[in-house]
Amino acid sequence: MKTKIFFFIIASILIAQTAICQDLLSGNITPTPKDLVLKVSQFGQFIKRFNYEEDFLGNKITPSFSKKICRNDYINFLFNKEDRRLDTASNKGSKEYYLLKDEFIKKVVEKNFKIDRISNSLYSVAICEVS
């Protein structure tokens, strides 16, 4: 059960994640919806950030960085801030989801969970449209 929750949260982060995405603006695709924005998630970069190995600039985590931003806060940055389920200030948010996210982060940090980049059970799925 814990493994399922862990992978559910990881999948939620990857699907909705915008903090580590690159924005590619394209105006020459037809038909182009109102300013089509393509989000390209850097999966390897996400794993390095989740594992607290790399900062926002791609540099290794240093003790001075760790003093400024602890792993709890850093993993929290990986969640999509535009996800309405996390908006607890309004009635749109889900307190259960918010608490589940916080519990997930706490357990990851306490147990020092890491994602193994070369695991056979780890993969990503790209959903795209080719025209």
Per DSSP (E only), the strands in the chain are 21-25, 37-41
In this structure, the dihedral spanned by the alpha carbons of residues 35, 92, 21 and 68, taken in order and rounded to 10 degrees, is 140
pLDDT at site 4:
56
DSSP code, position 86: G
pLDDT at site 79:
86
Which has the closest alpha carbon to 110: 62, 72, 60?
72
Angle in degrees, 0-180, between the axes of helices 95-110 and 2-16, rounded to the nearest 10: 110
> Strand 37-41 to strand 21-25: parallel, antiparallel, or no bridges (unpaired)?
antiparallel
User: Do the beta carbons of residue 17 and residue 41 sit within 8 Å?
Assistant: yes
Lookup result for tokens 């607890």? 88
pLDDT at site 117:
80
pLDDT tens string, the chain, 131 residues long: the values are 556 555 556 655 655 443 333 333 444 434 434 443 334 357 788 888 999 999 888 899 999 999 999 999 999 988 887 888 888 777 777 888 888 999 999 999 999 999 988 888 877 777 777 87
| Residues contacting residue 85 through CB under 8 Å, at least 6 positions apart | 93, 94, 97, 98
Domain ranges of the chain: 2-110
